[in-house]
Structure 1
Amino acid sequence: MALSFPGKGGVLASGLMLSVWLTGCTTSEVTSPANAPGGSETADMTADASTTPETDGKKKVLTTFTVLADMAQNVAGDKLNVESITRIGAEIHGYEPTPSDITKAQDADLILYNGMGLERWFEQFLGNVEDVPSALLTEDIEPIPIAEGPYADKPNPHAWMSPQNALVYVENIRKAFVELDPDNADTYNANAAAYSEQLNAIDKELQADLEQVPEQQRYLVSCEGAFSYLARDYDLQEIYMWPINSEQQFTPKQVQTVIEQVKSNDVPTIFCETTVSDEGQKQVAQTTGARFGGNLYVDSLSTEDGPVPTFLDLLEYDARIIANGLLAGANTQ
């Protein structure tokens, strides 16, 4: 992976170069962030990250959301300062960056982003940042296309919800850090290897948890279609209210479609996600008699004292909630 700046080739590109590339290749995936949920809630991932002294000599890495920040911190160890642009609990698809976000990005040494159309605000954001390299973390991941709606046939961007895909994220982070800071390459290589071992262990745990669900109950019903990769890996059938977070949420048609699917498949338990309203899903539960199993974490971690302060916690928590919900529902039928 070659760290590159304007006028040079390579996998990492400066904000200016990347903006030009995106304009030519993925304009259809970029939408206006106006009126997006959570857009006004702009802050750092943690207070500690925002107050890290600039004089400590460490390079500064920004990520577009908290899940990536946690992955990156595990690879960085104590050699880099890692910070998320969006704060805990923010809706990341249509986030509205503030001037302070742009200032932080301009002072950064590297920006890590998901891509696949996840951060619809990112092209415009990078257009305001000059000569800061960035790394696409979903490079080499085989995307699952969105099946319907305005983003039909575009990649489903929630690739990190598969532990096996997360290994690719970690490798891309490792490569980016080695090129950014070659003096600490041994640390990044060792940290990435250790973190990958943890992800492989989590993968086995999730398999054991979810394989307990009977075949006829293996329907994962969520608000956003954010679980396509997890459903693929663990042989679940995915049903969702909408394919990707946007301004069109909980329309009468969406609600009615899910009601019909839940009824026809005798789905015992349904779920939503923490960064969107769950009112529509609770309406589905009330109408169909299915249990509302709670909100799952996808686009954001929790606070330190919450249930998923790390990405590994997120994977374990979601698998446990899904398995327990579907098993409890199955046992009552």
Structure 2
Amino acid sequence: MKVWPHRFRSAPRRALIAMLAVSATAIALTGCGSSDSGDDKPVVLTTFTVLADIARNVAGEHLTVESITKPGAEIHGYEPTPGDIRTASKVDLIIDNGLNLEAWFAQFVADLDVKHVVVTDGVTPIAIGEDAYQGKPNPHAWMSPLNVQIYVDNMVRAFGELDPAHAGDFRANGDAYKGKLQQVHSELTTTLSALPSNERALVTCEGAFSYLARDAGLTEKYIWAVNAEQQATPQQITSAIEFVRTNKVPAVFCESTVSDAPMQRVVEATGAKFGGTLYVDSLSDENGPVPTYLDLIKHDAATISAGLTGRTS
């Protein structure tokens, strides 16, 4: 999880965002609701690939779903472009995560005359526990399959309003997808329930798994709450080492977007094994390890289960 950019934005960067906002207003005056998709389907724009994939499962064949960011892109510090504004001005619905994830996005769509839905509406936020963002909501609500069922319900309602003729299809698609999400959650919690309570702990490099840990009955521990482009401090590593030793945690993990070197020091000091790499912020391309959200959450659940139980994933 990279640092939220709006706290550290330089003056030139603020000027760029202001320029983009002005451009957005001008473009909006030329008309919205049209698209470059080449068909007559309503167009839904999401802020990043995870939301786009979830939305496509709900939309089925009736809507065209696009993502501002591309596979592998870092969502937190993304820099919007004039092309992004042109895209946003022509769509029929914009979807974002909320919980302060896309502060960059809110500024350049504020003046567009396009319907807007925040899919975390209804999610109970978890506050970041430390660092400069202490008390702010952790935005990674999509890392819980239970929360994503709320995302789906919000999409079903929004898509039904956008395209009432296919509202029944959106509900059916949403129900089918929620069933798959519930299965991932149930399998994870069933597997982990056999562990002693002290070993039901999720130790990661960053605090991106608060919602998954809460809903799966895991105690969360991380080296740093938010990655501020800095090395882990000795105090952070020592704290993680003490937690792993005290609780006899069998395995620890790290996210794909950061170096696992600090966590390897925890491994060396405790004898816990490195359980594997977890994915969070972006899907891979279709040939990569997590081309869909279900692939991502299944991979993470299987990796966590295998690491903590000692079973082969």
When the two structures are superposed, what TM-score results if normalisation uses the length of structure 2?
Answer: 0.83
Q: What displacement does 1:173 show? A: 0.6
Name the counterpart of 2:113. 131
- Secondary structure in structure 2 of the residue aligned to 1:97: coil
For the aligned residue pairs, the C-alpha RMSD in angstroms reads: 2.4
The structure 2 residue matched to 1:62, chosen from 22, 40, 45, is: 45
**Which consecutive unaligned segments of at least 5 residues does structure 2 have?**
11-34
Structure 1: how far apart are the matches of 2:254 and 2:159? Answer: 35
The structure 1 residue matched to 2:7, chosen from 2, 6, 31, is: 31
Cα contact 2:254–2:263 (8 A) shared by 1 = yes
Structure 2: how far apart are the matches of 1:102 and 1:296? Answer: 32
Name the counterpart of 1:216. 198
Cα contact 1:32–1:94 (8 A) shared by 2 = no
Name the counterpart of 2:17. none
The structure 1 residue matched to 2:124, chosen from 142, 146, 167, is: 142
Q: What displacement does 1:68 show? A: 0.8
Q: Cα–Cα, structure 1 residues 121 and 148, in superposed 2: closer, same or farther, change >3 Å?
A: same
- Secondary structure in structure 2 of the residue aligned to 1:229: helix
The structure 2 residue matched to 1:113, chosen from 96, 99, 104, is: 96
Q: What displacement does 1:110 show? A: 1.3
Q: Cα–Cα, structure 1 residues 102 and 286, in superposed 2: closer, same or farther, change >3 Å?
A: farther
Name the counterpart of 2:292. 310
Q: Would you say 1:98 and 2:81 are equivalent positions?
A: yes
Name the counterpart of 2:68. 85
The amino acid across from 1:268 in the alignment is P
The amino acid across from 1:133 in the alignment is K
Name the counterpart of 1:250. 232
Question: What are the equivalent positions in structure 2 for 1:158-177 lying under 5 Å apart?
Answer: 158-177=140-159
Cα contact 2:188–2:305 (8 A) shared by 1 = no
Name the counterpart of 2:177. 195
The amino acid across from 2:90 in the alignment is D
Q: What displacement does 1:259 show? A: 2.8
The structure 1 residue matched to 2:58, chosen from 68, 75, 88, is: 75
- Secondary structure in structure 2 of the residue aligned to 1:67: helix
When the two structures are superposed, what TM-score results if normalisation uses the length of structure 1?
Answer: 0.78
The amino acid across from 2:106 in the alignment is E
Name the counterpart of 1:156. 138
- Secondary structure in structure 1 of the residue aligned to 2:249: coil
The amino acid across from 2:229 in the alignment is E
- Secondary structure in structure 1 of the residue aligned to 2:173: helix
Q: Would you say 1:293 and 2:270 are equivalent positions?
A: no
Q: Cα–Cα, structure 1 residues 178 and 295, in superposed 2: closer, same or farther, change >3 Å?
A: same
Q: Would you say 1:326 and 2:302 are equivalent positions?
A: no
Post-superposition CA distance 1:16-59 (Å, at most 9, x none):
xxxxxxxxxxxx9943467xxxxxxxxxxxxxxxxx96221112
Name the counterpart of 2:15. none
Q: What displacement does 1:249 show? A: 5.2
Q: Percent identity at matched positions?
A: 54
- Secondary structure in structure 1 of the residue aligned to 2:103: coil
Q: Would you say 1:228 and 2:210 are equivalent positions?
A: yes
- Secondary structure in structure 2 of the residue aligned to 1:294: strand
- Secondary structure in structure 2 of the residue aligned to 1:191: helix
**Which consecutive unaligned segments of at least 5 residues does structure 1 have?**
1-27, 35-51
What is the number of residues matched between the two proteins?
A: 285
Cα contact 2:184–2:301 (8 A) shared by 1 = no
Name the counterpart of 1:269. 251
